[in-house]
Amino acid sequence: MTDIEDLVARLHATFASGRTKPLAWRKEQLTRLRAMFTEHRGHIADALYADLRKPRADAFATEIDFPVREIDHTLNHLDEWLRPRPVASGALAGLPDGSAAGTQYDPLGTVLIIAPWNYPVQLLLVPLVGALAAGNTVVLKPSEVTPATSALIARLVPGYLDKEAVAVVEGGIPETTELLAQRWDHIFYTGNGTVGRIVMRAAAEHLTPVTLELGGKCPVFVDRDVNLNRVAERLAGAKFRNAGQTCVAPDYVLTDPETAPALAAALAKSVEAMFGTDPQASDAYGRIVNERHFDRVSALLGSGTTAFGGQTDRDDTYIAPTVLTGVKPDEPVMREEIFGPVLPIVEVAGLDEAIAFINDRDKPLALYGFTESEDTRRRLADETSSGGIGFGLPMAHLRVPELPFGGVGESGLGNYHGPHSIATFSHRKARLDVPLG
């Protein structure tokens, strides 16, 4: 047996022993995980800085406070989420008197969680919150692209969580390939669609259910006659955080030809307010994760006209916050997910054309709208398909733990957060009780 086979066999045996089922065990694990976050805030922020030059305030907000809020919300509601749900008595017509039916959540067993590098803590450990709360044993596979964070998690987790139930396996493609060859009860993968397909193929071998949290191009529609300073502030705040390396970051803007230049000017002001005149010197601005991604994103800068930004420094993997105007739909920047601090503005005649543009492409993970019109909001919500839709404040929908977070079509399959994580990491079992008497 290889080490990985041995580990997975051990975790299956722990699950079979029933150790992870009691609510008390689950809550204790969540409480310990919470302590790991609060006792190592500084270490976690240091690792994220080493890997991504992630600004400390961002590291605290998105990689520590966010998972801690998820833990607190889960601890506060877990009893209620796990309570068996009876079906309405009307559904029991024809069965003997005294019959009862309902559903209960059973943990799935041993699950594999594979995470990417852009939010390497949050995207590994928020799924873990759900997996533990649902009573599973877990293998965590952090991204090898962010080695300092991966090593820190591998060191911290065994000191806090039940070693018989949770393990971290570090490594790249060879290790992940070996992990994927094992029999799992669920695989939860966050990353790109190419690897998503590899994961799903491997899962098919054992009929293992999967959650695929993928990416894509998230469009933003900006209506005429909106407060462009407010829009720019919120758009820039979402787009340029983590240097644009966020799966739900606005990827491109659709707006009319009159609004486009005014929006670009307002964005320039917002970027200066956030990062000063030289973002490279700002503590609040991050870096591209590595040279491979730097080269990929830099190659997209030639599209359209540079309204502002465009500076790069390969030695520092720095790409300035950049807005491109007059971008045509067939240019390179519009042909792939940007995943960097470059925001193209594509001109459309109006809402009809914007909706047609969105529907012509893969279903996005998120779609955003800035408009004062209730009718426009309704049409965007009803006439397009995306993992989530947000009006007025991009990326904020994922902070609401009662909302399912996930994609549709090319942007993913399944969802999580709050009660939706329990549903993902459990089997909803049907139960019917018919009296013998």
What tokens appear for 377 in the block?
A: 């909001």
Nearby residues of 24 by Cβ (< 8 Å), 6 or more positions away: none
Q: Which is nearer to ligand NAD, 287 or 379 (CB)?
A: 287
By CB under 6 A, the residues from 311 to 330 that bind ligand NAD are none
Total residues interacting with ligand NAD, rule: CB under 6 A: 28
77-116 mask for ligand NAD (x: CB under 6 A)?
-------------------------------------xxx
Task: Say how far apart CA 203 and CA 169 lie, in whole Å.
Answer: 18
Binders of ligand NAD in range 3-22 (CB under 6 A): none
Which is closer to ligand NAD, CB of 384 or CB of 411?
Answer: 411
> Using CB under 6 A, which residues numbered 160 to 189 contact ligand NAD?
172-173, 176-177
State the binding string over 218-257 for ligand NAD (x if CB under 6 A, else -).
Answer: -----------------------------x----------
* Neighbour tally for 111: CB within 10 Å: 29
| 3-state SS, residue 25 | helix
Q: Using alpha carbons only, what angle is made at residue 243 by residues 240 and 247, rounded to the nearest 5 degrees?
A: 85
Nearer to ligand NAD, 171 or 276 (CB): 171
Eight-state DSSP code of residue 95: S
Which of 275/405 has CB closer to ligand NAD? 405
Q: Which of 233, 247, 337, 410 is catalytic?
A: 247
For residues 328 and 344, is the Cβ–Cβ distance under 8 A? no
How many CA atoms, within 13 angstroms, populate the side-chain half-sphere of residue 265?
7
Q: Which two tokens stand for residue 178?
A: 């070996």
Contacting ligand NAD (CB under 6 A), which of 412, 414, 418, 419? 412
Structure tokens at 402: 């009662």
Is the Cβ of residue 192 or residue 280 nearer to ligand NAD in the bound state? 192
Phi, then psi, of 76 in degrees rounded to 5: -70, -25
**Looking at the chain, how many residues does it have?**
437
Cβ at position 370, least distance to ligand NAD in Å: 22
Which residue lies nearer to ligand NAD by CB, 298 or 376? 298
**Annotated catalytic residue 218:** no
Where do runs of H (alpha helix) occur along 53-187?
56-58, 66-82, 122-133, 147-160, 173-180
Could you say which of 63, 185, 337, 410 contacts ligand NAD (CB under 6 A)? 337
E-assigned strand segments in 142-282: 166-168, 186-190, 210-213, 219-222, 252-255
User: Catalytic annotation on 247?
Assistant: yes
CB 173, min distance to ligand NAD, A: 5
Q: Which of 99, 103, 192, 373 lies at the binding interface for ligand NAD (CB under 6 A)?
A: 192
**What's the gap between Cα 253 and its chain centre?**
21
Distance CA 412, CA 244 (A): 20
Q: Which of 20, 110, 143, 149 binds ligand NAD (CB under 6 A)?
A: 143
Return the structure tokens found at 332: 């390179």
To the nearest whole angstrom, how small is the minimum distance from the Cβ of residue 339 to ligand NAD? 6
Judged by beta carbon, residue 136 or residue 176, the one nearer ligand NAD is 176
Which residues here bind ligand NAD, judged by CB under 6 A? Answer: 114-118, 123, 141, 143-145, 172-173, 176-177, 190-192, 195, 198, 213-215, 247, 337, 339, 365, 407, 412
The residues annotated with a catalytic role in the active site are 213, 247
